[in-house]
Amino acid sequence: MSVQEALPLNGAAASSPGRHRGDHLLVAGLIEPGSKVLDVGCGDGDLLQLLESRGIDGRGIELSREGVNRCVAKGLAVVQGDADTDLVNYPDDAFDYVILSQTLQATRQPKAVLENLLRIGRRAIVTFPNFGFWKMRLQLLIGGHMPRTENLPATWYDTPNIHFCTIKDFVQLCDEIGVKMERSWALDIYGRPLRLKLPWWFWNMFGEQGVFLLSRAGKYR
Amino acid sequence: MASVKSRPSPAKTPSVSADERSHEVDHPSSPLARFGADQPLKLDCGLDLSPFQIAYQTYGKLNADRSNAILVCHALTGDQHVANVHPVTGKPGWWETMVGPGRPLDTNHYFIICSNVIGGCMGSTGPASINSLTGKVWGLDFPIITIPDMVRAQAMLLDRLGIETLFCVVGGSMGGMQALQWTAAYPERVFSALAIACSTRHSAQNIAFHELGRQAVMADPDWHGGRYADLGSHPHRGLAVARMAAHITYLSDAALHRKFGRRMQDRELPTFSFDADFQVESYLRYQGSSFVERFDANSYLYLTRAMDYFDIAADHDGVLAEAFREIKTRFCVVSFTSDWLFPTSESRALVHALNASSARVSFAEIETDRGHDAFLLDVPEFFDISRAFLQSAGKARGLNNGS
């Protein structure tokens, strides 16, 4: 799943410092140099390139051949594959971090994908668009139609995003499968973290994206 | 190699003389590396092959650091004439779309080497060569060779040429098998590997097709138990049938339908005979008869056998990932959607093993209806990814290769 396909983050790109997207900079900041990282749904490889520039050993999976081709041209090690079907083939503990950036909502089995992320990687970083964002709610409540935003412009019948969730939904899923949330952020429409220490319901209402750093807990321990 | 030409001809006797072909076997027009009694080729079957010779072609220039060499490994019925006119058939090189100035394997930047495999019939020692002990053609006295044997011989050639490390080893089909064998046997000598439409082991179905081809050759009375050279004959009918059967496996249902459909060959109505009424029949007969002009029947037996025996995992306790443990080589694996001889699932199995060994691997499946032969044809998406891979690998190796 290319990021472009799943979720064009134009707003985030426009406001981020330098040429990197805000959410990419946030994710890159979480990873220590020398780590081994798998980016699932790596698109054109922008995040992987940022990671490699910081001394991180990055690998990618990408659904579209065009995306794979552009990644290979950048010297990145990317294989054509599908998060739903191909993650099972990676061995346990193969990576320090597995990243799923703006792709979870486009998978057929988000729960199985999430479980695989934390089997393959010691930690996972998941970012996704928050369907509980106030603009979404308003469109459904007032407009009476499926929400469409600048960052999620597709109509209900042609969107690749088939499993939308809210930040609250995602937290519940993590609890259910025994995943530990080490850190989390809600980003505004420009991809900047909401800095205020606020309760969950506020994030769920005003966060345009959720970003979670996860590790194994419960049954994974 | 699927040329689209279709000619109205039954399987004919060869138009290229047997002399012309057999001359290339022992006295090729290519440069030769000869290895004497002091440098035998140690074969997997336990025998030493000595003396032996390797015929090869090179294109481009080796740089001062000797760091820009690319070894191209040819497929089952290919040879070292990658990008020059073939000395027997007079046709262009088999990979001129891929190798040349400005091509993905750019001869302005890389030094390209391709050698005829051991067991072949275009100048490297094989069953059609003269056995120096007897003064007669080897025939079936030639020892059984394997893909690792071919690669061992190539390594000896590179030693002779003074090339310690390859920038890249490239190959499709049987050539891809050799490329993978290179990375498994000499990981430190291979900076990058481009493995196309291949597999780490030959499947049961593929072994079955090869057996069909071999039986066709052996069923030809002109085969004479493999001693046809001594008797001045060649089992061209059996070999042509083998080639026809194999050729079907290199294409796809969709490609055959698109090229030929049910169209008739130079006629409106069926002849109610076993003449080649259909274009597809005529095409296959042409493929068969043109193949026997340039290929030795025993060589076909030996090389198909080598592919059958190929199984990298078997040499590593059945665990493929063990073959690539700690490997530093950069891999690019390419498959084609309509290839049913080496389907994408085979490439994926390789990629999974490389992932499990933490190897640096890229993989792409190219959408095409042209079947296994797609790697020899003009498929722009395939050229794009090959070029991109080589340029980025060249950058990592510090080559000035236009990246």
Contact A80 B384 (CB under 8 A): no
Of B355, B381, B395, the CB nearest to A75: B395
Residue B186 CB neighbour total at 10 angstroms: 18
Over 70: is that where the pLDDT of B233 sits?
yes
What's the predicted TM-score (pTM) here? 0.89
| Structure token pair of residue B169 | 């080893």
Contact between A39 and A48 (Cβ < 8 Å): yes
pLDDT tier at B400 (50, 70, 90 boundaries)?
Answer: confident
Q: Which residue has the higher pLDDT, A13 or B283?
A: B283
The ipTM of this complex is 0.79
Strands B41-42 and A179-187: unpaired
Contact between A209 and A191 (Cβ < 8 Å): yes
Size of interface A-B (CB pairs under 8 A): 65
Question: Tell me, what's the pLDDT at B165?
Answer: 98
| Cα(B120)–Cα(B241) distance, integer angstroms | 19
- Best residue of B332, B344, B363, B366 to probe chain A, by most A CBs closer than 10 Å: B363
The tens digit of pLDDT for each residue in B243-266 reads: 999 999 999 999 999 999 999 999
**Rounded percentage of chain B residues whose pLDDT exceeds 90:** 91
Contact B363 A75 (CB under 8 A): no
Contact B385 A69 (CB under 8 A): yes
| Cα(A128)–Cα(A119) distance, integer angstroms | 20
Q: In CATH, which superfamily holds the domain spanning A20-216?
A: Vaccinia Virus protein VP39 (3.40.50.150)
Span B212-228, average pLDDT: 98
Q: Work out the minimum CA distance from B350 to partner chain A, whole angstroms.
A: 11
Question: Tell me, what's the pLDDT at B201?
Answer: 97
Active site residues of B: 173, 339, 372
Over 80: is that where the pLDDT of A7 sits?
no
The per-residue pLDDT of chain B, averaged, comes to 93
The tens digit of pLDDT for each residue in B261-300 reads: 999 999 999 999 999 999 999 999 999 999 999 999 999 9
| Cα(B76)–Cα(B342) distance, integer angstroms | 14
| Structure token pair of residue B123 | 């100048």
Question: Among A193-197, B30-34, B78-82, which stretch is predicted with the lowest mean pLDDT?
Answer: A193-197
Question: Among A74-88, B41-55, B196-210, which stretch is predicted with the lowest mean pLDDT?
Answer: A74-88
Span A162-168, average pLDDT: 93
**Which of A2-16, A180-194, B301-315: highest mean pLDDT?**
B301-315
Over 50: is that where the pLDDT of A8 sits?
no
Question: Tell me, what's the pLDDT at B219?
Answer: 98
Span B96-123, average pLDDT: 97
Contact B355 A94 (CB under 8 A): yes
Question: Tell me, what's the pLDDT at B42?
Answer: 98
pLDDT tier at B4 (50, 70, 90 boundaries)?
Answer: very low
Helix (H) or strand (E) holding B71: strand B69-73
Of A36, A65, A91, the CB nearest to B381: A65
Question: Tell me, what's the pLDDT at A16?
Answer: 39
Residue A52 CB neighbour total at 10 angstroms: 17
Chain B residues touching A79 at Cβ < 8 A: 333, 351, 355, 361-364
Please choose, from the candidates B257, B274, B291, B265, the residue with its C-alpha nearest in 3D space to the C-alpha of residue B371. B257
Of B358, B361, B381, the CB nearest to A79: B361
The tens digit of pLDDT for each residue in B186-201 reads: 999 999 999 999 999 9
| Cα(B155)–Cα(B165) distance, integer angstroms | 10
pLDDT tier at A23 (50, 70, 90 boundaries)?
Answer: confident
Span B391-402, average pLDDT: 88
